[in-house]
Amino acid sequence: MFHECRHGDLSITTDASRLDLDVIHGFLSRSYWAAGIPREVMARAIRHSICFGAFDGERQVGFARVISDVATFAYVSDVFVVESSRGRGVGKQLMAAIMSHPDLQGLRRWTLFTRDAHGLYREYGFGEARFPDRLMEILGDPSRAAPAPQRGGPAA
């Protein structure tokens, strides 16, 4: 089941059948955070996320996705508004739709990364990480990392 809200000519929907992969991939593959992302990787990410499309009539003008177990956490990712639609509140409408989505209520933790939209996200309750020293990440292919030592078994 999908959710939809309207604000004048703008509609925000989680109906994945309306998403325009050409628009999404076209924008994200040139973004600072997902530059060069292959189309098939983006398609797989969309299939396994709660996605929000912003539409002006039938034309997609924005996108965001949420990765969540819908019980304890949500990670907001890939939020964008196409250049021609910026300054019209589309980003705010996307965030309002995300934060009010019925499946994403009562979660313990929300996270996101941004280089340039701190002000927008602060309006929805986001702030600096309380415990940045607890955050760890792997950038790139984790199979290239050294294998973890085995416990309790004989040495190889």
The structure's pTM equals: 0.87
* 3-class SS letters over 48-109: CCEEEEEEECCEEEEEEEEEECCCCEEEEEEEEECHHHCCCCHHHHHHHHHHHCHHHCCCCE
At 24-82, the pLDDT tens digits run: 999 999 999 999 999 999 999 999 999 999 999 999 999 999 999 999 999 999 999 99
Q: Which helix (H) or strand (E) holds 10?
A: strand 10-13
Q: Residue 115's CB: how many other CB atoms inside 10 A?
A: 7
Q: Which residue in 93, 96, 62 sits closest to 79, CA to CA?
A: 62
Distance CA 101, CA 99 (A): 6
Q: Give 47's contacts (C-beta < 8 A, 6+ positions apart).
A: 16
Domains of the chain as residue ranges with CATH: 4-125 (3.40.630.30)
CB 42 within 8 A of CB 24: yes
pLDDT of residue 123: 94
The residue count of the chain comes to 156
CA distances from 42 to 29, 45, 81 (A): 9, 5, 17
- Averaged confidence pLDDT in the chain: 92
